[in-house]
Structure 1
Amino acid sequence: METEMDTAVARTARQVAEAALSWLDGMRGSFALPTDTPDDHVLGDALKALAELTLATALVRREAIAGPRSADLADRLLDFCWQQVGQGELLYRLQARTPAATYPMEIYAPFAAAGYRHERLDRLAAQLYGLRAYRVVEHVPNRRLALVSAAAKIGVAVPDDLAALTGQTWLGGTPEPWMLDPSNAYGVTHTVFHLTDWGARPEGLPPQLQDYLHQWLPAWAEVYCETRLWDLLLEMLMVGTCLGRPLFSRAIWEQVAAAQRADGMMPNGMTKPPADPHRAWRNHHHPTIVAVAAGTLTLSRAVSHAATGARSKT
């Protein structure tokens, strides 16, 4: 029965991810950064959207479980993202101009993990991560974990105390579960993502936090499914795939699939998207990107889990 459930979840997750990726490919032009614009103006929503697309498509490449068409779309979108940042040159200029900024390295990290490298940015990263200033960046704790994760992807060892940083996060304190609100929920999901490298290393999440999430993640997912906060719900489904004993919910994935539009776009809450896809992109590209990442990781872990279960019975 468990193997059958894994298979059903994998099928639905694949369908959602493939449809979402197809929509993102069709909206590729909306992700293009403005041209003939000073570097300082290439910030905000445009760069954030491109960074999110980079991360999702890099995960598709890393997991290597998508069908041929989706794998090709993800590769082409990742190439597109790399071209948009000038093959890393834009990120290098932004980082060199504002050495204390952390976002250029965070954007570069998934590119580097996927094999896209910029030699001068690599050298600059090694220099900046070695400064005393790096160790006192005043970010909230889960954002500090993001810096550690980015450094690891780029290939720079940093001296941060992961256990101490984790203990300072909302999740690390294992609070009363009813105190979770959307703001802290996003912190929880990203704490897990950074500690496990987006599910690649489930062992990076301490056992006590794995137990805590096994107990409360299903209830939280039910709440955010009822409120139709699809991007947050999909992030929680991703968290379930990052655990040593992955959590899947066939019923919730079926509701996600039912909410997805026929063209592959995921809605943003209960807001009715405008008919014009380019206007819809502004508020709905983020949950659609998360659908690609969540569907990919769920498919990968469900297939692996089902195979492990089948072998254990032989």
Structure 2
Amino acid sequence: MIVREVEEAALDWVWAHRDRFALGEDALAAEGQVNRTWKPLGELARVCASVATCTPPTDPLHIRVRDLLDFAWQQTRRGELFLLMQSLEPFATYPLEVYAAFASAGHRHTGYEASAAVVARTRGWRLTEQCPTRRLGVIEAERRSGLNPHGRVPQALDRTWLGGLPEPWTFERAAGYALTHVVFHLTDWGRTPRGVPPDLADYLLHWLPPWLDTCLEARMWDLSCELLAVAAGLPRPPEPAVLEDAWQRVAAARHASGAIPEEGVIQEESAGSAGSAGSAGSADGADPYAFTDCYHSTLMAAFAAALTTARLRDVDHAGQGVPG
């Protein structure tokens, strides 16, 4: 199964590079770069929480992602760092967004939740200026963390690019990432496909295939994997032929280590192919890409593949099958 092979290889790479997701001493520094500290860790937690949910407990991959999730939780000192961040940056939303990923998997810190609830009741929190997609994500993070959401999903959704059912030819990179995250928030990261309203589901069913083809043709592997995750999370997925072609192209884009670059041409000397899931690095032991150039796309490949594999178990193969 090509989808399963992509998932296994991607998680092999993540496991081999798990120390790169660890928090350093700059995690709480005022001048620290959140995108290089908390963002990778949060994305690791988010993907692992979702993959664990849609993978049977007897599956070896379930055990692996649970171990990765425990590793990530330990990096936060079992939630203690969220409480420290709350005192340092009380109106920053990213700590809650990262925490929500852990909370959705059962890792909770009551002290942080109590502190966050106090801040969330302030006008300053409710009035923080955010792009519409981010605001939708914060509302969902509040819900998953046991807080009272400061807004309603339908109203937040209406302000997003996807919620307005835009002209399909206005699709571009930024819009693509915005729409994927809108769907992730609406479906609780693939758990509830019915969370996508019928009009949005019909719109995506019609336009997702050409958008996906455009991204694959442009070698935008990261966004392509996010779109494949969207496809697997819709109430009704696109035609099997569309997904089969897309997964073949993603599989061909991966390095033998399992890593997938965010975009561009893969390393020619060790280009991956369907069924090749080599070692954690290239033939000479060196990583094929910089960590920041491939960790997110590799995580997204594992996420999309896990959702797709789960869909294989849930839909009628004859009528709505997805590639095996």
Task: Give the TM-score of the pair, scaled to structure 1.
Answer: 0.89
Contact 1:217/1:236 (8 A) holds in 2: yes
Task: State the distance in 2 between where 1:37 and 1:169 align.
Answer: 31
Contact 2:253/2:266 (8 A) holds in 1: no
The CA deviation at 1:46 is: 2.2
Select the residue among 246, 250, 253 that pairs with 1:252.
246
Of stretches 74-83 and 59-68 in structure 1, the one that deviates more from structure 2 is 59-68
User: Are 1:261 and 2:255 counterparts?
Assistant: yes
Select the residue among 100, 107, 128 that pairs with 2:119.
128
Gap regions ≥5 residues in structure 2? 268-280
Select the residue among 31, 42, 61 that pairs with 1:51.
42
Contact 1:60/1:66 (8 A) holds in 2: no
User: Are 1:24 and 2:25 counterparts?
Assistant: no
The CA deviation at 1:308 is: 9.5
Question: 1:33 matched to which residue of 2?
Answer: 23
Of stretches 301-310 and 225-234 in structure 1, the one that deviates more from structure 2 is 301-310
Question: 2:151 matched to which residue of 1?
Answer: 160
2:7 maps to amino acid: A
Contact 2:261/2:289 (8 A) holds in 1: no
Task: State the distance in 2 between where 1:262 and 1:97 align.
Answer: 42
The CA deviation at 1:140 is: 0.5
2:60 maps to amino acid: R
Question: 2:308 matched to which residue of 1?
Answer: 298
The CA deviation at 1:208 is: 1.0
Equivalent position SS for 1:87: coil
Select the residue among 263, 283, 291 that pairs with 2:293.
283
Question: 5 Å matches for 1:1-314?
Answer: 11-35=1-25, 38-40=28-30, 41=32, 43-65=34-56, 68-247=59-238, 248=240, 249-272=243-266, 276-277=286-287, 280-306=290-316
Of stretches 114-123 and 56-65 in structure 1, the one that deviates more from structure 2 is 56-65
The CA deviation at 1:307 is: 6.7
Equivalent position SS for 1:44: helix
TM-aligned CA distance change 1:188 to 1:66, over 3 Å: farther
1:294 maps to amino acid: A
Gap regions ≥5 residues in structure 1? 1-10
Task: State the distance in 2 between where 1:60 and 1:166 align.
Answer: 25
Of stretches 289-298 and 148-157 in structure 1, the one that deviates more from structure 2 is 148-157
TM-aligned CA distance change 1:201 to 1:36, over 3 Å: closer
Of stretches 22-31 and 62-71 in structure 1, the one that deviates more from structure 2 is 62-71
Q: Which has the higher helix share?
A: 1
Of stretches 218-227 and 27-36 in structure 1, the one that deviates more from structure 2 is 27-36
Contact 1:13/1:298 (8 A) holds in 2: yes
Task: State the distance in 1 between where 2:233 and 2:54 align.
Answer: 13
2:182 maps to amino acid: T
2:297 maps to amino acid: P
Contact 1:65/1:300 (8 A) holds in 2: no
For the aligned residue pairs, the C-alpha RMSD in angstroms reads 2.1
Task: Give the TM-score of the pair, scaled to structure 2.
Answer: 0.86
TM-aligned CA distance change 1:253 to 1:279, over 3 Å: closer
TM-aligned CA distance change 1:113 to 1:250, over 3 Å: same
Identify the structure with bigger relative contact order (alpha carbons < 8 Å, sequence gap 6+): 1
Contact 2:50/2:303 (8 A) holds in 1: yes
Contact 1:128/1:134 (8 A) holds in 2: yes
| Count, aligned residues | 300
Of stretches 98-107 and 152-161 in structure 1, the one that deviates more from structure 2 is 152-161
Contact 2:76/2:82 (8 A) holds in 1: yes
Task: State the distance in 2 between where 1:18 and 1:194 align.
Answer: 25
Task: State the distance in 2 between where 1:221 and 1:48 align.
Answer: 25
Task: State the distance in 2 between where 1:110 and 1:36 align.
Answer: 21
The CA deviation at 1:36 is: 7.5
Task: Map Cα deviations across residues 191-210 of structure 1 (whole Å, 9 max, x no partner).
Answer: 11111111222222221111
Task: State the distance in 2 between where 1:50 and 1:120 align.
Answer: 21
Task: State the distance in 1 between where 2:318 and 2:138 align.
Answer: 34
Task: State the distance in 2 between where 1:36 and 1:281 align.
Answer: 18
TM-aligned CA distance change 1:279 to 1:251, over 3 Å: closer
Question: 2:278 matched to which residue of 1?
Answer: none
Equivalent position SS for 1:78: helix
